[in-house]
Amino acid sequence: MPTPAEIERNFTDIHPPLSQHDGLVESARCYFCYDAPCVSACPTGIDIPGFIHQIRSGNGDGAARTILRANIMGGMCARVCPTEILCEEVCVRNKPGDSPVRIGLLQRHATDPVLARGEQFFRRAESTGKRAAVVGAGPAGLACAHQLALFGHAVTVFEKQKKPGGLNEFGIAAYKTVDDFARREVEYILAVGGIEVRAGVELGRDVTLEELRGEFDAVFLSPGLGGVNRAGVDGEGLDGVMDAVGFIAALRQAEDKSRIKVGKKIVVIGGGMTAIDIAVQTRKLGAEEVTLVYRRGAEDMRASRHEQDFARTNGVHFRYNARPARFIGEGAVRAVEFTAGGGETVTLAADMVFTAIGQALGGGIPEGLTTTDGRISVTADRATSIAGVWAGGDCVAGGDKLTVTAVEDGKVAARSIHRFLGGCNG
Ligand SMILES: Cc1cc2nc3c(=O)[nH]c(=O)nc-3n(C[C@H](O)[C@H](O)[C@H](O)COP(=O)(O)OP(=O)(O)OC[C@H]3O[C@@H](n4cnc5c(N)ncnc54)[C@H](O)[C@@H]3O)c2cc1C
Ligand code: SF4
């Protein structure tokens, strides 16, 4: 097993920031394309050549302003966005013999100093006297709250956890967001003023949607996905079989990661980011053998090729085209039986098994909301089927489930809410 110091080292920043010199050199690689494809590929539409040009001309703060105007979580997105399938994939320099401009790292290069100083670029408009409620303090809720506050509305955020941040705080892999960055970013967002966070208050338990609609002029729902899908096969109740999201949350909150118990032989079932993250993080905690098993082929996995390669370089083994048939053990799990593509049975020994097979809306959907495939249906403006109620982030139907898309949902909804409340500059 690794020593506590080795574990600490294993969880350091996977993409360390660029030095001042490297930032300038990297910014000079951009062609500043007209009709830049990278901008269209960014869900929040950041003016990428614009901010890279500002870095190049020594105006780092201007670059940060350009980024944060479009995406108030530009700092977190710089760390967690799968840029290899977004802006950097379509960069015109992404071709054989060349490499894409490292947009994510440049974005971090510009925003980190501003967040470290806590400098506020944006000022709130005069108070409108209107009040909005936001349910859930994850990326969607915080982005919406920030934008609404800038418009001059008074915002109250209801968050069931004791602290805000959503999956930025409880989900994203620890080595992507080191040094308590998630908390520091939330503090930066709230410092704009006009946003009250009521932590420990849960919609459906402590307050109802009807009550919020009565008390506030508009409501934005962004509770994410609190439930997890189950494998639905025998033995799921055995000790050592657990869902990945809960374990990751405990890992993110641990003061001392070396105190987290991890098995020797681990099987992870799933094919998305969560499956990759739990596989890599358990390896970093000291698991000897980690095998990720996915029901279809490598090309069908939701995790990008880049993420799969990253897991491989961290010693994770992959098995494709196999579905769990049962978990085997007496009291505690000791193996998992899979049905493989040709119908044959494959058994993998395991003393810990993680299921990472998707999440679902937790806590029930408030009455009257139309849904699609178990998620809240919304219009292009993120309006729901109930007047005065908007929704965004992981809880809504359609779209990629990423931090950056959640931020965009919050921003778009806030503009629509502002128009609904009589504002004209949304
Ligand atoms: C393990 C994991 C790793 C991920 N890694 C990445 C990554 O590297 N890059 C990336 O782009 N995306 C990643 N994602 C996806 C990304 O985290 C989500 O898409 C994003 O956080 C969604 O934001 P949200 O605001 O909709 O929901 P959340 O972040 O889930 O926030 C919802 C908030 O609402 C609160 N809440 C829930 N129900 C209620 C209620 N009834 N009342 C009050 N509050 C409530 C929750 O406590 C939470 O704080 C990952 C997801 C997981 C699970
Ligand atoms: S596509 Fe690449 S080269 Fe062109 S503007 Fe965007 S980052 Fe610069």
Shared domain for 306 and 414, answered yes or no, is no
Using the 3D structure, point to which of 328, 358, 388 is the last residue of a domain: 358
Per-residue pLDDT at 384 exceeds 70: yes
Stretch among 45-54, 81-90, 217-226, 353-362 having the lowest mean pLDDT: 353-362
Q: Same structural domain for residues 187 and 244? A: no
Residue 223 phi, psi (nearest 5)? -85, 5
Rounded distance, CA 411 to CA 416, Å? 9
Angle at 342 between CA 340 and CA 344, to 5 degrees: 60
pLDDT, tens digit, 9 for 90 and up, residues 287-315: 999 999 999 999 999 999 999 999 999 99
Residues 188 and 250 in one domain: no
* 381 is a domain residue: yes
Q: What is the CATH number of the domain that holds 51?
A: 1.10.1060.10
**In terms of Cα–Cα distance, which of 320, 240, 314, 230 is closest to 277?**
314
CA distance 113 to 65: 12
Regarding whether 298 and 348 lie in a shared domain, the answer is: yes
Overall average pLDDT of the 355-366 stretch: 84
Residue 187 has pLDDT above 90, yes or no: yes
CATH number at residue 285: 3.50.50.60
Cβ 222 vs Cβ 215: under 8 Å: no
Give the DSSP letter of residue 365.
P
Same domain for 245 and 287, yes or no, is: yes
C-alpha 426/C-alpha 424 separation (Å) is 6
Question: Does ligand 2 lie within 6 Å of residue 266's CB atom?
Answer: no
- To test the ligand 2 pocket, which listed residue (86, 91, 103) has its Cβ within 8 A of the most ligand atoms? 91
Q: Which two tokens stand for residue 393?
A: 């982030």
Please tell me the predicted confidence (pLDDT) of residue 367.
82
CB of 83 within 6 A of ligand 1: the answer is no
Domain co-membership, 211 together with 234: no
Query: Is residue 104 within 8 Å of 395, Cβ to Cβ?
Result: no
What is the number of the ligand 1 atom nearest to the C-alpha of 245? 1
Per residue in 408-420, pLDDT (tens digit) is: 999 999 999 999 9
Last residue of a domain, one of 318, 334, 358: 358
Cα 366 to chain centroid, rounded: 24
- What Rg do the C-alpha atoms of the chain give, in angstroms? 22
417 CA distance to ligand 2 centroid (A)?
Answer: 33
**pLDDT for res 122:** 92
* pLDDT tens, position by position, 222-262: 999 988 888 899 999 999 999 999 999 999 999 999 999 99
Q: Rounded to the nearest 5°, which phi and psi values hold at 34?
A: -75, 140
CA atoms within 13 A on the CB side of 425: 7
DSSP assignment of 102-119: -HHHHHHHHHHHHHHHT-
340 with 309, same domain: the answer is yes
Question: Residue 4 falls within a domain, yes or no?
Answer: no
The answer to whether position 194 is within a domain reads: yes
Say yes or no to pLDDT of 159 above 90.
yes
H or E element, residue 265? strand 265-270
Q: How far is the CA of 116 from the centre of ligand 1 (A)?
A: 24
> 169 CB under 6 A from ligand 1?
no
Q: Are residues 246 and 352 in the same domain?
A: yes
Residue 237 lies in a domain: yes
> Is any ligand 1 atom within 6 A of the Cβ of residue 186?
no
Asked if 365 and 353 sit in the same domain, the reply is no
Q: Residue 11: is its pLDDT beyond 90?
A: yes
**Helices assigned H by DSSP within 131-272:** 139-150, 167-170, 181-190, 209-215, 244-253
Partners of 322 in the β-ladder: 340
Give the distance, in angstroms, between the CA of residue 414 and the centroid of all CA atoms in the same chain: 20
352 with 203, same domain: the answer is no
Domain for residue 211, yes or no? yes
Q: Pick from 91, 117, 143: which residue ends a domain?
A: 117
User: How many domains is the chain partitioned into structurally?
Assistant: 3
Identify the band that residue 426 occupies on the pLDDT scale cut at 50, 70 and 90. low
Domain assignment present for residue 5? The answer is no
Tokens 């956890």 sit on residue: 161
Average pLDDT of the residues in 349-377: 90
Residue 341 has pLDDT above 90, yes or no: no
Q: Which tokens in the block code for residue 71?
A: 């995406």
CA distance 336 to 352: 10
On whether the CB atoms of residues 242 and 353 are closer than 8 A, the answer is yes
**Is 6 contained in some domain?**
no
Dist. CA 166 → ligand 1 center (Å): 5
212 alpha carbon, closest ligand: 1
Tell me 174's DSSP state.
G
For residue 40 and ligand 2, the question of a CB distance below 6 A is answered with: no
User: How many helices (H) and strands (E) in the chain?
Assistant: 16, 17
Least confident stretch, 190-194, 327-331, 373-377, 380-384 = 373-377
Summarize pLDDT for 101-149 with one digit per residue, the tens.
Answer: 999 999 999 999 999 999 999 999 999 999 999 999 999 999 999 999 9
Instruction: Say what percent of the chain tops pLDDT 90.
Output: 92
* Listed residue (266, 276, 217) closest to 241, CA to CA: 266
Q: Which ligand gives the minimal distance to the CA of 277?
A: 1
Model pLDDT, residue 211? 97
Q: How far is the CA of 139 from the centre of ligand 2 (A)?
A: 26
- Using a 6 Å cutoff on CB, does residue 77 contact ligand 1? no
Considering only CA atoms, which of 154, 162, 330, 104 is closest in space to residue 238? 330
Task: Evaluate if residue 217 carries a pLDDT over 80.
Answer: yes
Look up residue 283 and give its two tokens.
């390896």
How remote is the CA of residue 220 from the centroid of ligand 1, in Å? 15
Identity of residue 426: G
- Helical spans, DSSP H, in 232-295: 244-253, 273-285
**Local confidence band at 361 (pLDDT 50, 70, 90 cut-offs):** confident
Average pLDDT for 5-22 = 93
364 has pLDDT over 80: no
Contact 392, 401 (CB under 8 A): no
Ligand nearest to the CA of 34: 2
**Ligand index nearest the alpha carbon of residue 159:** 1
pLDDT at residue 395, rounded to an integer: 96
Q: What local confidence, expressed as pLDDT, does residue 366 receive?
A: 82
Domain that holds residue 304: 228-358
| DSSP sequence for 297-353 | -GGG-SS-HHHHHHHHHTTEEEE-SEEEEEEEEESEEEEEEEEETTS-EEEEE-SEE
Q: Are 175 and 187 in contact (CB under 8 A)?
A: no
Assess whether 20 and 101 both reside in one domain. Answer: yes
Task: Answer yes or no: is pLDDT of 100 > 80.
Answer: yes
Amino acid (one-letter) located at 230: R
Check whether residue 236 and residue 214 sit in a common domain: no
**pLDDT over 70 (residue 425):** no
Task: Report how far ligand 2's centroid is from the alpha carbon of 236 (Å).
Answer: 48
CB 86 near ligand 2, within 6 Å: no
CB of 140 sitting under 6 A from ligand 1: yes
How confident is the model at residue 71, as a pLDDT? Answer: 98
Residue 1: inside a domain, yes or no? no
**pLDDT the model gives residue 57:** 97
Residue 224 CA to ligand 1 centre (angstroms): 5
Q: What is the pLDDT of residues 385-403, one digit of tens each?
A: 999 999 999 999 998 899 9
For residue 141, the ligand 1 atom closest to its alpha carbon is 25
